[in-house]
Chain A
């Protein structure tokens, strides 16, 4: 076995066998599971006890009110406000609602009064206002002799359907294209950012450990520094890929299994969403929406997306992890002292992520985005996002060429710094000094 593959093997196995890796890999999907359960639990959570509220309907607009979630409405009948207040004090009622008459039909805002010494919970408060608003709407419609059907006719939904002029892709686009592209792009960006950051820093930490534990001099007398560095970078990269694959598989199965086990499906979740205030959604409409999103997802060029994800992951990972390796080799025993050295590697990475999340979603083809998707320190994060929006092919080709060339360059450069830095002890290293090392002979 070649020395490089021995090193890769060790770097890979020691990490994959670590408890923290196993726990992290298994726990992330479990975390997702817990998260899903919590969301389901919260959305079906029935507020606290029911409250009894007497309703004084001064203009006979709203009575009778049907009971809402956690609120029971009791018509006041002939009782006066003062009598009811006394009942509240005597704890027979939780509160009194007084609904004054409307001034006129044009009036939009209407204030009603709630008498109680207890605070009204926000959930109950919105229950009450929605019920009353519905009743007032019905009252207004009734007075204007309007029917529900007539009212619906007044609503219009407008959407833009993009049509190409010189390209023949007009059929490919719909109002969902942008939204789905955005979602796919953001997921790719986030995954790439997260993985490059996490595994790049893992390489840095591991380089520092070898340096501080002094094993590195023993290693250097057996293998070339470049092999040791590359073995580490490749080994850690494979760990990263392993973790992502494990997460995808595990999360996929969790996402499939949980609804089955819990007996909960999307249809079951809907009523609670609808009840929480939004106008009730038509299940057919939901289904239709889902279908169209699925259709839009299947329209994405997945082989291209996955292929480019791998290219940009490798490109970005090699660029940044070799930078981190060089930085790790230059750091002394004290992690804190060298912290500023990591800035040149972390800032472009974070900046790339910001460019996408701040500017990318507004216009994926803006000048800034085009630049960022070709500049090699940004492109591994930015270009995968743009790919979901069919950028011109020459930009993709240029970006891929630049990112591969840069990866090779950065690995070479890092190797030059690494071989000097790794054997340098007890010296505070500056960026300027690291630059000088790249010109050292042998």
Chain B
């Protein structure tokens, strides 16, 4: 486990922000922390990054209870991005890198590496306030990963990014993950990260409402929906055998009693002489799962 959160509670005055949450993040995985705004994600991250301490419970990073040098193994990009606006890009990265425990030489080496990678070699002397939003995001990202953290925590990483930078950052995150960096995405835009994550936790009102492997959760919540697209008109008489939940011009979506019926469905299509161009199981999105789960728990 790269990260183990054990029964953590955090309150601010009378407000209970995190209510007995436990999570394990396996080494090298991409973990999604999902939930609406104000669910307690940022409160939880602040405890993981040692910005605040839990009222009760414990957090372990790579097997060790969090201590004063733990932040050097974590890279955290907060939702609210921020840099020293009047500082030069190079000096700023050097400063932030050194604060993460890098020596000056190491920091300079890493900055050079990232400047080359992002093709921004001439940015050293630019002031942050003179950069565009997108450029600032790149610098912010470099600042987050400069010290080669074992665990990367990205809070709403793609908000405010243009499509080109979104792709670039996604690509780089993929590369980092491939070299062993564990990654936690925190977002309320669940559709943005579900395709990238292998495990997720859903948090609502400070509580862990759903937690597990992405495929397992999707299978658990799937409703045996299958969508069949055909060339030309949809053949008649199908609804007599299977219940249709959605009708489109060239496609029908069926709700089957159990997933084993899917082959029967295809057989029927073939019997009717229709030409199938697309056949897919409709899995629920995390948005839908979240809504369903919240309804179930009555929260």
Whether the Cβ atoms of B82 and A213 lie closer than 8 Å is: yes
Binding-face segment, B47-55, B118-126, B270-278, B283-291: B47-55
The yes or no answer to B96 lying at the interface (CB within 8 A) is: yes
Contact mask A213-240 → B, CB, 8 Å, 1/0?
A: 1111111111111000000000000000
B67 to chain A, nearest CB (A): 12
- In angstroms, Cα B83 to Cα A210, docked, is 9
Question: Given A10-B95, A214-B80, A436-B13, A220 and B51 touching (CB < 8 A)?
Answer: yes
15 A-B contact pairs sorted by A residue (CB < 8 Å): A6-B98, A10-B95, A14-B86, A14-B87, A214-B80, A218-B76, A218-B77, A220-B46, A221-B76, A222-B99, A222-B100, A423-B46, A442-B53, A442-B54, A442-B55
Whether the Cβ atoms of A216 and B82 lie closer than 8 Å is: yes
B226 to chain A, nearest CB (A): 46
Interface size range on B against A:
20 to 34
Question: Given A223-B99, A441-B55, A217 and B85 touching (CB < 8 A)?
Answer: no
Top 6 A-B residue pairs of the complex, sorted by shortest distance between their CB atoms = A442-B53, A214-B82, A215-B82, A214-B80, A217-B78, A222-B99
The yes or no answer to A3 lying at the interface (CB within 8 A) is: yes
Whether the Cβ atoms of A218 and B54 lie closer than 8 Å is: no
Specify which chain B residues have a CB less than 8 angstroms from the CB of A221 in the assembled complex.
49-51, 71, 74, 76, 78
Specify which chain A residues have a CB less than 8 angstroms from the CB of B86 in the assembled complex.
14
Whether the Cβ atoms of B81 and A423 lie closer than 8 Å is: no
- In angstroms, Cα B55 to Cα A73, docked, is 94
Whether the Cβ atoms of B96 and A222 lie closer than 8 Å is: yes
Residue of B nearest to A437 (CB): B13
Specify which chain B residues have a CB less than 8 angstroms from the CB of A10 in the assembled complex.
95
Whether the Cβ atoms of B13 and A215 lie closer than 8 Å is: no
The yes or no answer to A1 lying at the interface (CB within 8 A) is: yes
Interface residues of B in 59-90 (CB under 8 A from A): 68, 71-72, 74, 76-78, 80-87
Tell me how many residues of A have a C-beta within 8 Å of chain B.
26
Q: A215-B84, A224-B68, A436-B13 are in contact. List 5 more A-B contacts (CB 8 A).
A: A10-B95, A218-B77, A222-B96, A223-B71, A225-B51
Task: Tell me which of A6, A423, A436, A441 contacts B95 (CB under 8 A).
Answer: A6
Residue of A nearest to B50 (CB): A221
Specify which chain A residues have a CB less than 8 angstroms from the CB of B13 in the assembled complex.
436, 440
Indicate the member of B77, B82, B83 with the most A CB atoms within 10 Å: B82
The yes or no answer to B184 lying at the interface (CB within 8 A) is: no
Whether the Cβ atoms of A219 and B99 lie closer than 8 Å is: yes
Specify which chain A residues have a CB less than 8 angstroms from the CB of B46 in the assembled complex.
220, 423
Specify which chain A residues have a CB less than 8 angstroms from the CB of B193 in the assembled complex.
none
Contact mask B242-278 → A, CB, 8 Å, 1/0?
A: 0000000000000000000000000000000000000
- In angstroms, Cα B74 to Cα A13, docked, is 28
Whether the Cβ atoms of B51 and A218 lie closer than 8 Å is: no
A373 to chain B, nearest CB (A): 40
A: residues with CB less than 8 A from B are 1, 3, 6-7, 10, 14, 210, 213-225, 423, 425, 436, 440-442
Specify which chain A residues have a CB less than 8 angstroms from the CB of B50 in the assembled complex.
221
Whether the Cβ atoms of A423 and B51 lie closer than 8 Å is: yes
Specify which chain B residues have a CB less than 8 angstroms from the CB of A214 in the assembled complex.
78, 80-82
- In angstroms, Cα B97 to Cα A3, docked, is 11
Indicate the member of B68, B99, B100 with the most A CB atoms within 10 Å: B99
A217 to chain B, nearest CB (A): 4
B15 to chain A, nearest CB (A): 12
The yes or no answer to B143 lying at the interface (CB within 8 A) is: yes
Indicate the member of A216, A217, A440 with the most B CB atoms within 10 Å: A217
Specify which chain B residues have a CB less than 8 angstroms from the CB of A223 in the assembled complex.
71, 99
Specify which chain A residues have a CB less than 8 angstroms from the CB of B74 in the assembled complex.
221
Specify which chain B residues have a CB less than 8 angstroms from the CB of A423 in the assembled complex.
46, 51-52
Residue of A nearest to B153 (CB): A221
Indicate the member of A215, A222, A425 with the most B CB atoms within 10 Å: A222
Specify which chain B residues have a CB less than 8 angstroms from the CB of A441 in the assembled complex.
53, 55
Specify which chain B residues have a CB less than 8 angstroms from the CB of A215 in the assembled complex.
82-84
- In angstroms, Cα B279 to Cα A235, docked, is 66
Whether the Cβ atoms of B83 and A213 lie closer than 8 Å is: yes
Residue of B nearest to A1 (CB): B98
Specify which chain A residues have a CB less than 8 angstroms from the CB of B82 in the assembled complex.
210, 213-218
Whether the Cβ atoms of B12 and A440 lie closer than 8 Å is: yes
- In angstroms, Cα B74 to Cα A213, docked, is 22
Whether the Cβ atoms of B71 and A217 lie closer than 8 Å is: no
Whether the Cβ atoms of A6 and B99 lie closer than 8 Å is: yes
- In angstroms, Cα B81 to Cα A436, docked, is 28
Contact mask B102-141 → A, CB, 8 Å, 1/0?
A: 0000000000000000000000000000000000000010
Whether the Cβ atoms of A217 and B87 lie closer than 8 Å is: no
Question: Given A14-B86, A221-B51, A442-B55, A3 and B78 touching (CB < 8 A)?
Answer: no
Residue of A nearest to B140 (CB): A218
A21 to chain B, nearest CB (A): 13
Question: Given A14-B86, A423-B46, A218 and B12 touching (CB < 8 A)?
Answer: no
Question: Given A221-B74, A224-B68, A442 and B52 touching (CB < 8 A)?
Answer: yes
Task: Tell me which of A6, A7, A222 contacts B71 (CB under 8 A).
Answer: A222
Question: Given A6-B95, A6-B98, A441-B55, A213 and B84 touching (CB < 8 A)?
Answer: yes
- In angstroms, Cα B17 to Cα A440, docked, is 14
